């Protein structure tokens, strides 16, 4: 049996309390929801359905309108690390399967790992050369997370990645330069944008390199490695290109 009703914040806590008494063995509450009336409750989040957060109650779930929720605390499920591992290993088919499953279940959840998985879906499609799917994924990300902070920079970097794959360097640069300028202006980048900034500087380095501006390319690769080093894949690729530039164009770069 699945319950798919929308509850008010006050109904939520009554229903969750009832749910604990009916909970299945092993289905322990582990997440935390704070509603806009200031109440905080430990729950078990099972997904997002439309504009509702789905919370387990007994053998089913209830839908709590996201508009009534002030904040959510939920650790990334093991599938997130598995998807990341597959992506880092360039096993893109496996990464796509794992990431899509996460996004289908949790897209819209206002936590960093769900936001990152939703944005990465476009990156995986780019790696698989499925550009229409990638563009759709990035625009979907922008629609979903644009009002939750950091949505536009990540989707802009994603769209820049598509432009770069098409060798449309002017379009890629127009998407990337506002993001990198913002990154350099911030003393402490928001946690949900650190990987986005890593990718932005690496991609801008690729644009610079394609334009034969090797000093600028090296500078942006090194920014990825030394300042915005939160995306392991981007850091490794940037270090490789920085080393290659010094070897191939030693007289033209610092």
- At 85-123, the pLDDT tens digits run 998 888 999 999 999 999 999 999 999 899 889 988 988
**Confidence band for 81, pLDDT divided at 50, 70 and 90:** very high
Q: Record the tokens describing residue 56, joined without a space.
A: 């387990």
pLDDT score recorded for residue 138 = 87
Do 65 and 110 belong together in one domain? no
Flag whether 59 is in a domain. yes
**Confidence band for 8, pLDDT divided at 50, 70 and 90:** low
Do 57 and 92 belong together in one domain? no
Number of structural domains in the chain = 2
- At 180-230, the pLDDT tens digits run 999 999 988 887 788 889 999 999 999 999 999 999 999 999 999 999 999
C-alpha closest to that of 55 among 3, 102, 100, 101: 3
Contact 117, 80 (CB under 8 A): yes
Q: Which of 34, 51, 73 is the last residue of a domain?
A: 73
3-state secondary structure of 16: helix
pLDDT score recorded for residue 21 = 35
What average pLDDT does the structure give for the chain? 84
**Confidence band for 250, pLDDT divided at 50, 70 and 90:** confident
Q: Which of 41, 73, 105 is the last residue of a domain?
A: 73
Range of the domain at 14: 9-73
Arithmetic mean of pLDDT, 117-132: 88
Residues 6+ apart with CB under 8 A from 67: 51
Do 33 and 137 belong together in one domain? no
Do 52 and 128 belong together in one domain? no
**Confidence band for 244, pLDDT divided at 50, 70 and 90:** very high
pLDDT score recorded for residue 253 = 60
Do 102 and 193 belong together in one domain? yes
Q: Which domain CATH number covers 190?
A: 1.25.40.10
Do 119 and 181 belong together in one domain? yes
Do 43 and 160 belong together in one domain? no
- At 20-61, the pLDDT tens digits run 433 444 445 589 999 898 889 899 999 999 889 999 888 888
C-alpha closest to that of 193 among 104, 119, 90: 119
């Amino acid at each position: 049996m699945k319950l798919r009703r929308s509850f008010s914040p006050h109904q939520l806590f009554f229903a969750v309390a009832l749910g604990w008494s009916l909970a299945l063995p092993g289905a322990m509450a582990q997440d935390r929801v704070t509603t806009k009336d200031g109440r905080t409750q430990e729950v078990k989040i099972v997904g997002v359905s439309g504009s509702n957060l789905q919370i387990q109650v007994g053998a089913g779930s209830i839908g709590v309108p996201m508009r009534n929720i002030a904040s959510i605390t939920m650790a990334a499920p093991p599938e997130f690390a598995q998807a990341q591992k597959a992506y880092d290993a360039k096993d893109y088919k496996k990464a796509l399967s794992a990431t899509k499953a996460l996004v289908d279940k949790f897209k819209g959840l206002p936590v960093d790992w769900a936001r990152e998985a939703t944005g990465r879906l476009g990156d995986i499609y780019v790696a698989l050369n499925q550009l229409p799917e990638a563009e759709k994924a990035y625009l979907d990300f922008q629609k979903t997370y644009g009002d939750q902070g950091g949505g536009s920079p990540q989707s802009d970097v994603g769209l820049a990645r598509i432009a770069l794959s098409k060798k449309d360097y002017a379009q890629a640069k127009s998407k990337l330069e506002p993001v990198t300028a913002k990154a350099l202006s911030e003393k402490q980048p928001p946690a949900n944008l650190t990987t986005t900034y890593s990718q932005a500087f690496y991609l801008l380095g690729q644009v610079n390199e394609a334009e034969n501006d090797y000093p600028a390319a090296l500078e942006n690769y090194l920014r990825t490695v030394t300042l915005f080093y939160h995306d392991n894949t981007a850091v490794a690729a940037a270090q490789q290109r920085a080393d290659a530039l010094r070897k191939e164009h030693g007289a033209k770069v610092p």
